[in-house]
Amino acid sequence: MPKRGPENAILYGRLMMRKFINESTGHPYNKVEFVRDDKGKPILANKLNCPQINYNVSHQGDFTVLAGAEGDLLLGVDVVKVEYPKAKNLSEYFRIMSRTFSWQEWETIKNSGSDKNQLGMFCRHWCLKESYLKAVGVGISVNLQDVCFKINTNKLMKNCIVNDTEVYFKGEKLEWEFQEMLLDDQHYVAVALNSKNNPKIVFEEIKFDDVMKNAIPLLKNDVEY
């Protein structure tokens, strides 16, 4: 999870995916190839002779994040920066975004207290919803009000995983786990997993040098610049 400027977001994400696959599977760094599936998600172009791995990347604000795991499971990650909407007051912004959440979710958001707390709870719900939609691969084409989250722990903290949030689809509770935490005072992160009792792994901030450790150039030495 490196901190970065917005211009480096895609580059950092690709480098982190390559690093994760190389270190998780032992597959040569410079032989890892990506393509996009029919939903636009980056996937491995070549099948690896190793346990199945799943990974997902997200970027917003000051961070690019990657979550990954071994096994046959669905996994999605999202990071959201808490920012006041430009040129709109909060009530008007919530009105414009009214179809984003169910009435139960809006009740939780609007009962959170101050404008700052309401905006934080709004962003937290958005982060949860995006992580789930990325895991199932449907994007925002689904009716967002059909996916409803119930928050059981109101406050998130840095370096501490909360995993008791529940999700319902059209009123039916789903057996998913959501691991949430704060990266800092302005950034929420959520990992969606379609299984329970997963190891709680706190996000670790790494520097660009860490991302590039053991990297191998992808271009031949004789390429002219």
pTM, full prediction = 0.88
Position 49 pLDDT exceeds 70:
no
Q: Structural domain of residue 125, as residue ranges?
A: 6-212
Q: Angle 192-37-4 (CA atoms, 0-180°, nearest 5)?
A: 60
Lowest mean pLDDT among 46-60, 152-166, 174-188: 46-60
Residue 220 included in any domain: no
Residues 180-207: pLDDT tens digits? 999 999 999 999 999 998 999 999 998 8
Residue 109 included in any domain: yes
Residue 206 included in any domain: yes
Q: Count the domains in the chain.
A: 1
Residues near 185 by beta carbon (within 8 Å), at least 6 away in sequence: none
Residue 180 included in any domain: yes
Residues 72-104: pLDDT tens digits? 889 999 999 999 888 778 999 999 999 999 999
Residue 48 included in any domain: yes
Work out the average pLDDT over 29-58.
77
Residue 150 included in any domain: yes
**Which pLDDT band holds residue 26 (cuts at 50, 70, 90)?**
confident
Lowest mean pLDDT among 11-25, 46-60, 126-140, 156-170: 46-60
Does 202 or 41 have the greater pLDDT score? 202
Residue 223 included in any domain: no
Residue 167 included in any domain: yes
